[in-house]
Chains A and B, each alone.
Chain A
Amino acid sequence: MMAERSFDRRKLIRLGAAATGAALLSGCDRLFDNPAFRGTLEEAEDLHRVTQRILGGQALAREFAEADMSPVFRANGSKSVADAIYRAHLAQGFAHWSLRVDGLVERPLDLPLVALKQMTQRRQITRHDCVEGWSAIGQWRGPRLEQVLALARPRPQARYVVLHCADLYHGKPYYESIDMIDARHPQTILAWEMNGKPLEEAHGAPLRLRVERQLGYKQAKFISRIELRASLAGLYGGKGGYWEDNGAYAWYAGI
């Protein structure tokens, strides 16, 4: 039989509880400051992307009926744009506004809003999921991003589609990016209409991205320019988006 060792159990338990408490309170924060540890946790993003792509393929996001729509669709992020040129376009109903498509393309384009409206349109009622946890269901209409890209003819080196936005968020230009897989997804559209009406300023007039299988911060508003790139390095913070650069949010926002 095992010899009973004499232990001051109470002391041991108290010591253990104190150590556990202290370790928990500051330990996790300090552990997270360790680049190797944090890097390991952040590796999970690749796992998420690869798993979702393998299991999901080109699956479509769920679409809903009109009866399922949110009574009020919450606007988030920048709700207005200070830029003088933008405000002039807004005052003119974007009649003289055009979307710039450039970067790694054979044929850089300036597409007026009316040209975008004349292309084949897709209408979809989808759920917008914010990273914070809330959701809203709305109806969107616009041409597929793939159609717009096809007009510009992407070069083979093009791997990312960068959406440059007209707004500054906390003083910095908002932008987002997706890869060619999501860019070519059937539900990825450049929406100019929401709930049957032209996009309001708060929701990103004149044009916003809908990339339905990702979270809200990827749905770039006030799009002014689409740039195709081989890499995201060298662009702003280099992580492919405003929140990726300024908040350590994941670039792949499918979960």
Chain B
Amino acid sequence: MSDIPVHDPDPHPALRGGDVVRRHRLSTRLWHWTNAVTLLVMVMSGLMIFNAHPMLYWGEYGANYDRPWLKIGSARVGASEFGYVQIGTRRFDTTGTLGLWQNADGQTQRRAFPGWATIPSRYSLAAARIWHLAFAWVLAGGLALYLLWSLVNGHLRRDIHITRTEWSPRHLWQEVRDHARLRFPAGAAALRYNALQKIAYALVLFGLLPLMILTGLAMSPGTDAWFPLAGELFGGRQSARSVHFLGMAALIGFFVVHIAMVVLAGPFNEVRSMITGRYRLPKERG
């Protein structure tokens, strides 16, 4: 068993499809799984916090007498009751999933997000806040350490940095076409992140995650006193809360695409490479 250390993602002429190489560094793997758990806890406890006041507003203030741009609730029309998501003035029936759903014991619940999507599964704003605000430190600390370490060991420069050729519309269009036809690189070329992948990772690392931390801080009345810029950047506390929610939705979007790509690219090999670091290069098509 001879694993070939590959920390330089430039195409390696000696490598061919089927070879097993060392791919992900320990720092990347540790952060990946810490983050996987942390994001799951943050999203699920966050949805429970949302349940306490399932309305979103723009601006500095916003409460029951003000007009929300998004609301999840339930209403009764005649004998039937339904759950809904309201965006602006439009209502969408979401009975069974959002606003009105049944818990594991078959009891009807009138909360925004269902028990299977929240931490804890039964309504508790206090418990959700304990989870959310403790794991916020893991998220922010982990991101800071990872970015710092990736800067030092060259991971950002070598693997995430998007080159000028990769930015060219022709190149990006070619990658979009390859993705759409599910044509993935084989052999040593599979070691490099493609441009779309780099853009997605960079958006999460430098865009979405810092945005979540900033909007999270903006909602704290204590932080607002010494760092009012956080809230003002977004146009107020309620706007920051809305952006926090939309950022969460974008992270779920990333997660869904991420999982889909892992499944399409070979889940066993991909997951193994993120656990042990060992990655089998995809075979060239015959």
Contact = CB atoms under 8 A, between A and B. Distances in A.
A44 B41 CA distance: 15
Interface string A240-255: 0001000111100111
A133 B116 contact: no
B125 interface: yes
A217 to B, nearest CB: 10
Given A2-B1, A7-B268, A254 B127 contact: no
Contact of B220 (A3, A47, A254): A254
B44 A135 contact: no
A8 to B, nearest CB: 11
A1 B19 CA distance: 7
Contacts, number: 157
Contacts of A137: 60-61
A195 to B, nearest CB: 13
B238 interface: yes
B133 A254 contact: no
Contacts of B71: none
Interface string A1-20: 11100010100110000000
B89 interface: no
B224 interface: yes
A48 interface: yes
Interface residues of A, number: 58
Given A32-B127, A44-B134, A247-B126, A74 B116 contact: no
B126 A249 contact: yes
Interface string B48-77: 011011010000111111100000000000
B237 interface: yes
B225 A62 contact: yes
B278 interface: yes
A42 B130 contact: yes
Contacts of A47: 137
Nearest to B244: A133
Contact of A129 (B41, B124, B133, B237): B237
A127 B61 contact: yes
Given A44-B137, A62-B228, A129-B221, A71 B65 contact: yes
Interface of A: 1-3, 7, 9, 12-13, 24-26, 28-29, 32, 38, 40-45, 47-48, 52, 55-57, 59-62, 64, 68, 70-72, 74, 127, 129-137, 212-215, 243, 247-250, 253-255
19 contacts: A13-B267, A28-B44, A28-B131, A29-B119, A32-B120, A41-B134, A43-B134, A44-B133, A48-B222, A56-B222, A56-B226, A59-B225, A127-B61, A135-B63, A214-B221, A247-B125, A254-B223, A255-B219, A255-B220
